[in-house]
Amino acid sequence: MKASAPGKIILFGEHAVVYSRPALAVPVTQVHVDVEVLDSSRPGIWIHAPVIDLHAELASLPSDHPIASVILKLIQLFGISQTPDLEINISSTIPVASGLGSGAAVSVALIRSLSSFLFHPLSDDEINPLVYEIEKLHHGTPSGIDNTVITYNMPVYFIKGQPVETFKTGKPFTIVIGDTGIPALTKESVGDVRLLWLRNTTYFENIFNEIAQISLIARRSIESGKPELLGELMDQNHALLQEMTVSSPELDRLVTAAKNAGALGAKLSGGGRGGNMFALAEQATAESVANALISAGATRTIITEIS
Ligand code: PMV
């Protein structure tokens, strides 16, 4: 039984979204996780995930291992006492710890394929809260945006704890994603922001309010077919993320390089401190923005159209 899940990118509102402000995120289908569950002739549940060099039997993994915990949760949910012998193959083109949602994508694809294999196929509405539980195990206090955009595979305007809202693009636009190649743990940047927020609550609440405004205007610009207005909003959002201390010299270098190459705006995306940034580009300049990102040290670029 095969299933897959896309990557994602947060367009606006990361970090502020943890404090119940709105954020916008879209799936990135150029990168994905693919999972295949097969009957096995050897005893046990064997997991193969070559990208993280994992070839292990379920029982040999700690129960809080990201992949083991998904499998154990499903076995428990379905009340299975006699576990079948299985091979689970996981492959991924989403870089790990880079803000493109690799963890949530593994959970979504694994739940989809394993639940179908076990004759309990789950709907997106059932999968989403399960993935959120797994995200909590590994990220502390996630907002839930990653699991939502990846489970439903559609653009979302996300406010923590509120029903999922999607949005339409009035006119397609092109973004160029650039990877610093530096893995960064979202849990750490989210934890650091929390400490700063506790120390200086009014200051941080004001930043979050400004970001909430940006997300709101960005959504309107996208829906009304004026994506060119996003460039300025991206620059403003990036400056606020810098104030929150979650940018890094490498991210700033890529943002500047994209702008110098003609991008209309650029910002980091996700937890920050490393991982990915993206820039808004005209279709005609996207290629040169991507080249400029590589020259400035990006380890990989993805040009994607949001439509
Ligand atoms: O680093 P990512 O792409 O998983 O995104 C994290 C986004 C944050 O807002 C920083 C945290 C969250 O849980 O929403």
The 10s digit of each residue's pLDDT in 87-120 is 999 999 998 878 899 999 999 999 999 999 999 9
**Ligand 1 proximal residues by C-beta, below 6 Å:** 10, 14-15, 17-18, 99, 101, 142-143, 145-146, 186, 190, 270-271
Residue in 146, 162, 238 to alter for ligand 1 test, most ligand atoms within 8 A of Cβ? 146
State the pairing for strand pair 54-57/23-39: unpaired
Residue whose CB lies within 8 A of the most ligand 1 atoms, among 21, 107, 190, for a mutation test: 190
Q: Which domains does the chain have, with CATH numbers?
A: 2-158 (3.30.230.10), 168-306 (3.30.70.890)
Alpha helices (runs of H) in 118-158, residue ranges in sequence order? 124-139, 145-152
pLDDT level of residue 138 (50, 70, 90 thresholds): confident
Residue 146 appears among annotated catalytic residues? yes
CA of 186 relative to ligand 1 center, distance in Å:
6
What pLDDT digit, counting tens, does each position of 259-294 carry?
999 999 999 999 999 999 999 999 999 999 999 999
On the question of pLDDT at 234 being above 80, the answer is yes
The residue whose CA is least distant from atom 5 of ligand 1 is: 270
pLDDT classification of 139: cutoffs 50, 70, 90: confident
What does the pLDDT read at residue 96?
84
CA separation, residue 133 to residues 64, 95, 126, 130, 264 (Å) = 12, 22, 12, 5, 37
CB 191 within 8 A of CB 15: no
60: confidence class by pLDDT, cuts 50, 70, 90 = very high
Q: Under 8 Å CB-to-CB from 267, ≥6 apart: which residues?
A: 12, 234, 235, 237, 238, 241, 255, 277, 278
At 140-174, the pLDDT tens digits run: 789 999 999 999 999 999 999 999 999 999 999 99
Marked catalytic residue, from 146, 179, 235, 252: 146
Give, using CA atoms, the residue closest to atom 4 of ligand 1. Answer: 99
User: CA 24, CA 165: separation in Å to the nearest integer?
Assistant: 10
Which numbered atom of ligand 1 lies nearest the CA of 189? 10
